[in-house]
Amino acid sequence: MYRIVEKRELAKGVDEFVVEAPEISRKAKPGQFVIVRVVSRGERIPLTIADVDPESGTVTLMVQRVGKSTYHLSCFEEGNSLRDIVGPLGKPTEIKKWGHVVAVGGGLGLAPIHHICKGIKEAGNRLTVIMGFRSKDLIFWEDRMRLMADDLIITTNDGSYGKKGLVTDALKEVIEKDKVDAVICAGPVPMMKAVAELTRPYGIYTVASLNPIMVDGTGMCGACRVTVGGEVKFACVDGPEFDAHQVDFDELMNRLRMFRDKEEIAMRRFQE
């Protein structure tokens, strides 16, 4: 059992959990994820590791309430325990001293971006972070990102905070006025696709942290299948990060929609 030592609501529908998981906190590297089961017969929920603290033996996870299992998880409070956590899973981010790196996080995509940014800074890179949200009330972790980033840009779709517009508007401005050596992005699939299309003509090395449906997380079930450079890859073992210019984002979007009806039914039953 994995005890929740802290829980807070970061923004509407988004919770942060700090959970005791000493072995995972010692081993986890930026870019990796865990699979959580809330109860013994519960669905397996893939969650990116947003942060680790090996000294206190904790991992920080962010959860967006989007379906039955994530709503169930959000009912857990400090002092409660989760049934099991498997991890760290997936390949760590390949981090080098690139020079100037721009990290782009949209909404919950900030979870992987936060942990990856720690690694990027430790490797001696200059770091610009672009955080994108729909509106001011959905913003979280500005303080934590400000501590790491050499430059921090926040965008909101409605202009209620920071720059009005999309993360790609801000990214384009950065690319046009500064030399950018690498871009790493995580967030909604259309956002990652737009980032990839923006950087492609500039020839900037771009990595996307993908968020497909996952079940086992060990390469056995095939649920997380993605096409990268015309080849089938399994995000849980071959990723979750891939060369964004090679990813078939349209296929990924279609696969994410596959179980939407079933998810809605499960959610309705959970709320009854």
Q: What's the angle, vertex CA 260, arms to CA 256 and CA 265, rounded to 5?
A: 155
End-to-end Cα spacing for the chain: 28
Question: How many Å apart are CA 149 and CA 85, to the nearest integer?
Answer: 30
Closest approach, Cβ 11 to ligand FES, in A, equals 28
Instruction: Closer to ligand FES by CB, 147 or 232: give it.
Output: 232
Phi, psi of 138 (to 5 degrees): -100, 0
Closest approach, Cβ 35 to ligand FES, in A, equals 8
84's tokens: 């099991």
**Which residues does 91 contact at the CB level (< 8 Å), separation at least 6?**
31, 32, 237, 238, 239, 240, 241
Question: How many Å apart are CA 30 and CA 93, to the nearest integer?
Answer: 6
Instruction: Closer to ligand FES by CB, 67 or 162: give it.
Output: 67
Q: Which residues bind ligand FES (CB under 6 A)?
A: 214-217, 219-224, 234, 236
Closest approach, Cβ 269 to ligand FES, in A, equals 24
Instruction: Closer to ligand FES by CB, 222 or 229: give it.
Output: 222
Instruction: Closer to ligand FES by CB, 199 or 211: give it.
Output: 211
Instruction: Closer to ligand FES by CB, 166 or 208: give it.
Output: 208
Q: Which of 158, 193, 213, 178 is nearest to 45 (CA)?
A: 213
Closest approach, Cβ 184 to ligand FES, in A, equals 21
Residue 201 Cα to chain centre, angstroms = 25
Would you say 93 and 116 are in contact if contact means Cβ atoms under 8 Å apart? yes
Closest approach, Cβ 124 to ligand FES, in A, equals 33
247's tokens: 């990813």
Which residues partner with 184 through β-bridges? 103, 207
Question: How many Å apart are CA 70 and CA 114, to the nearest integer?
Answer: 21
Q: Which of 128, 134, 68, 71 is nearest to 107 (CA)?
A: 134
54's tokens: 């090996």
Instruction: Closer to ligand FES by CB, 221 or 267: give it.
Output: 221
Instruction: Closer to ligand FES by CB, 138 or 252: give it.
Output: 252
Closest approach, Cβ 34 to ligand FES, in A, equals 13
Closest approach, Cβ 240 to ligand FES, in A, equals 10
